[in-house]
A and B are shown apart, each in its own frame.
Chain A
Amino acid sequence: DAGVIQSPRHEVTEMGQEVTLRCKPISGHDYLFWYRQTMMRGLELLIYFNNNVPIDDSGMPEDRFSAKMPNASFSTLKIQPSEPRDSAVYFCASSPGQGGTEAFFGQGTRLTVV
């Protein structure tokens, strides 16, 4: 397995534009997480899914952020409209449902909003 795959690796966009980040979890994993990493706030959980259903979105900072998981192999995190303070590295991670608690992280998407 290639691991958790995120795209794009880097995204530069102008303030006010819509941004969509994509994630393909490891096949067979039941849990999918979106984390954001910044110097000021460290690694913080935004939302997570179990079997494609959003379980906890309390970490989503504002209504400008939304996440979907239409099927077991794909998830998106959308920011609309984007703001400079959204600049961060966004990580997707997946975790197996049974017999394992390890979260496997993707390589992240570095988002810069100018």
Chain B
Amino acid sequence: QQQVKQSPQSLIVQKGGISIINCAYENTAFDYFPWYQQFPGKGPALLIAIRPDVSEKKEGRFTISFNKSAKQFSLHIMDSQPGDSATYFCAASKGSARQLTFGSGTQLTVLP
């Protein structure tokens, strides 16, 4: 059973545009929702994370929007740049357990 569903699988955006990636989760016990960025040949790296007590978190050009009732959260990348081209993973974990359940990933391409 896939506990975190991510869409789209791939996304192409023009430089300066907005990139939006969506995730939905099933387990209401999840209480930590990070987004990871992965470049080819590298391990995933934390980009931004949110807990369900807030509906939005912004760090620079990156924003997480969280809808607890719908069990959905999304990543918005404003003013997308070619350097943002990477694979993005949403994830979730619960309680004191630290293991992450990952979405399937979105390959983002930002055209110059």
Q: How many residues of B contact A (CB 8 A)?
A: 20
B46–A102 CB distance below 8 A: yes
Picked from B49, B89, B102, B103, the residue with its CB within 8 Å of the CB of A102 is B49
How does the 8 Å CB contact mask read for A17-36 relative to B, with 1 for contact and 0 for none? Answer: 00000000000000101000
Q: Quick one: given A103-B46, A107-B43, A108-B43, are A95 and B104 in contact (CB under 8 Å)?
A: no
**B1 CB to closest chain A CB, in angstroms?**
13
B81 within 8 A of A: no
List residues of chain A with CB within 8 A of the CB of B49: 101-102
A43 within 8 A of B: yes
List residues of chain A with CB within 8 A of the CB of B103: 42
List residues of chain B with CB within 8 A of the CB of A91: 43-44
Q: Which of B32, B41, B99 has the most CB of A within 10 A?
A: B99
A45–B100 CB distance below 8 A: yes
**A45 CB to closest chain B CB, in angstroms?**
5
List residues of chain B with CB within 8 A of the CB of A43: 44, 89, 100, 102, 105
B98–A48 CB distance below 8 A: yes
**A–B pairs, 22, beta carbons within 8 Å:** A4-B43, A33-B99, A33-B100, A42-B89, A42-B105, A43-B100, A43-B102, A44-B102, A48-B98, A55-B97, A91-B44, A101-B34, A101-B93, A101-B98, A102-B34, A102-B46, A102-B49, A103-B46, A103-B98, A103-B100, A107-B41, A107-B43
> A: which residues have CB within 8 A of B?
4, 31, 33, 42-45, 48, 50, 55-56, 91, 93, 95, 101-108
